[in-house]
Amino acid sequence: MKSQLFVRKRSFSFFVKSVQNVISEISNKEGWAKVDLIIEALEAEDFDFNPLNYGFNTTNEAFDAIHGGWLEFKEVKKTKYVKVNKVMP
């Protein structure tokens, strides 16, 4: 049981790093990117992301589970944006 918890925690860390990399790739000059575009990139075939591997039913659920100050969110005219708040080592 202990090893399964370690694996999941490590996997979710990998997911957070991957999200941060995608944000960095598609963000504007100020570092903000549309949440919808991040979700699309994560679901792209070349990324090969499956939310079930992280204990979530959807990519949105996995994305929303990132906390601890890793990301910063804002909403402008009903459009959600995200940027990297602190880089995961």
pLDDT at 10 over 80: no
Residue 71: beta bridge partners? 84
Burial class (CB in 10 A: 0-12, 13-18, 19+), 30: exposed
How much is the pTM? 0.79
pLDDT at 18 over 80: yes
pLDDT tens column, 32-70: 999 999 999 888 865 667 788 888 888 889 888 998 799
CATH architecture of 2-84: 2-Layer Sandwich (3.30)
Domain coordinates of the chain in residue numbers? 2-84
